[in-house]
Structure 1
Amino acid sequence: MPSASSRARRAIALAMAVAVVPAAWAQGGTCEKPVYLTFDTGHMGIAPLVAEVLKRQDVRVTFFAAAERTTTDGDSLDNHWAPWWKARAAEGNEFASHTYDHTYWRADLKGTTPTFRVKPSAGAFAGREFIWTAAEYCANISKASERLALITGKKPLPLYRAPGGKTSPKLLAAAKACGFEHVGWAPAGFLGDELPSEKFSNEKLLTQALDTIRPGDILLAHLGIWSRKDPWAPANLEPLIVGLKAKGFCFQTLRQHPDYRAWIASHP
């Protein structure tokens, strides 16, 4: 049986040799093995590379955006990055909220109305804990969605992703009541770009993904992680896409996901 490293090397070689599949096949239509690649924001240092790869491979994805600190001394939804987001919209990608201040849910609080202990990790109040009502939490989700609409010219999907995937039933109910369905990711879809590269090499992560991803999985990566010393992209992004295509997978956006299609259609 080939070793993990040899399988990973073959996938990388394949990325350089396999032709791009036709757009109609890549985006759905007759595809029987869809996967849903999603990106959360980050420091944006690899954003140009990600855009280049997605365009070259004719893949559409769903971006979940928050106003996170960037390598350009601003945030990922500021005017510096507005043309980048607008270009992704023109290519047919989809967008959704990641909460404006990349706000982590910490706990539900007792009471007759839903209130939550939260901790933003971006913005002027990063690192501080607050008590928010459901309305305040919804406003932070909506703020990112509204900013995306402004800079892309495209209405974002009525979806959101909580930072770290940390939620509670009460939090999810509050978000849904104000028009936002939560999106997590498949266990195999956690692509590992947040993990320490000293323990989880790019080669190991690529092999694991190609071996374990199944049809219908939602995949998660980021537009730059500060803590990882050996960045996941560019090493793994294109080999992963090409390797999955070679196994008969195609890439769709969450607008096409069966779990969210009806919700999206009912919230135009």
Structure 2
Amino acid sequence: MRFQRVLPRLLILAALSGSSITAIAQEAQCKKTVYLTFDTGNMSVAQTVADILYRQNVKATFFLANEKTNRGDFALDDSWKAYWQERLKEGHHFGSHTYDHVYFVKDGPSGEIFAKPQFGPRAGITSLYNEASYCREIRRVDDRFKELTGSNLQRIWRAPGGKISPRSVKMGNLCGYQHIGWQPAGFLGDELSSQTHPNQMLLDKASSQIQDGDITMAHLGIWSRKDPWAPAVLEHLIVNLKARGFCFATLPKQDK
């Protein structure tokens, strides 16, 4: 009876490809954890990122804003519905990046903050946000994601550019969303000039400097970089980190 129970499992393992078996073995042996995260950006390499994560059997966390894409639409338009639905089915996690990609500027005079949307009807205009209006900006992504996928975000958010103050973080907390930044080693550099920071340099740096528990940050496309980062770096980085004994987890971090 014991042999009968074990045999189907052996057959299943035998049916797996060599790369899949290797991936399973690596995950079983890993001793460290890294959290890959991606902000929307212009979405030009969105499918490339998705394909690499799927091929490597890695889950990531995406922070969404309604940013203009290289297709001329916006990242939370209906035209991206299937993309987000597929990522949800694959088991990735999602957070808010503020709906109109609102950059924190400075604290205001009476408990508010000054912030400037990059998109939307008030794009480029610095305005005062109180707790309610800033919460609305964070939660709008959650509401729209529910319309697109039928599911809510995780209760996390990331300020555009990582620009925050204790007051803006507290506003997010009071709204029910935990702010997620990244570690210095986790800044993957995809928004830097490819002339001064070529892909190989960025790959070597991240592969060697990322440490246990680090959160990384890259984008699904950047307007200004001549040589896109993700097609050249992402898969090599994942392979290198697996070789260093890393597992890949989603946010928010779970208490051990």
TM-score > 0.5 by shorter chain: yes
Q: Deviations over 1:174-195 (max 9, x none)?
A: 1101101100001100000011
2:23/2:56 contact within 8 Å kept: no
2:186/2:216 contact within 8 Å kept: yes
Name the counterpart of 1:143.
140
Name the counterpart of 2:54.
55
Name the counterpart of 2:210.
213
Q: Distance in 1 between matches of 2:31 and 2:146?
A: 31
- Are 2:95 and 1:96 aligned? yes
- Are 2:75 and 1:66 aligned? no
Q: Distance in 2 between matches of 1:202 and 1:60?
A: 23
Q: Distance in 1 between matches of 2:140 and 2:245?
A: 38
Number of aligned residue pairs: 238
SS in 2 for 1:118: strand
SS in 2 for 1:73: coil
2:26/2:242 contact within 8 Å kept: no
| Map 1:56-135 → 2, pairs under 5 A | 56-111=55-110, 114-135=111-132
| Map 1:201-240 → 2, pairs under 5 A | 201-240=198-237
1:98/1:162 contact within 8 Å kept: yes
CA shift, 1:150, in A, is: 2.1
1:109/1:116 contact within 8 Å kept: yes
Instruction: Give the counterpart letter for 1:81 in structure 2.
Output: W
Q: Distance in 2 between matches of 1:247 and 1:32?
A: 9
Q: Deviations over 1:132-155 (max 9, x none)?
A: 111101100000111112212222
Change (3 A) 1:140 1:30: farther
Name the counterpart of 1:19.
19
Name the counterpart of 2:160.
163
CA shift, 1:32, in A, is: 2.2
CA shift, 1:129, in A, is: 1.1
2:40/2:75 contact within 8 Å kept: yes
Q: Distance in 1 between matches of 2:43 and 2:114?
A: 28
SS in 2 for 1:110: coil
1:99/1:143 contact within 8 Å kept: yes
SS in 1 for 2:67: coil
Compare the two structures and name the one with the higher helix fraction: 2
Q: Distance in 2 between matches of 1:252 and 1:31?
A: 12
Q: Distance in 2 between matches of 1:130 and 1:243?
A: 44
TM-score (norm 1): 0.85
CA shift, 1:22, in A, is: 4.0
Q: Tell me the C-alpha RMSD between the 2 structures.
A: 1.7
SS in 2 for 1:148: helix
Q: State which drifts further: 95-104 or 142-151.
A: 142-151
Q: Distance in 2 between matches of 1:78 and 1:23?
A: 36
SS in 2 for 1:119: strand
Change (3 A) 1:200 1:240: same
Name the counterpart of 1:193.
190
Q: Distance in 1 between matches of 2:235 and 2:82?
A: 23
Q: State which drifts further: 152-161 or 231-240.
A: 152-161
1:95/1:148 contact within 8 Å kept: no
Q: Distance in 2 between matches of 1:48 and 1:22?
A: 21
Name the counterpart of 1:42.
41
Q: Distance in 2 between matches of 1:218 and 1:126?
A: 29
CA shift, 1:31, in A, is: 4.0
Q: Distance in 2 between matches of 1:96 and 1:61?
A: 11
1:68/1:123 contact within 8 Å kept: no
CA shift, 1:30, in A, is: 6.8
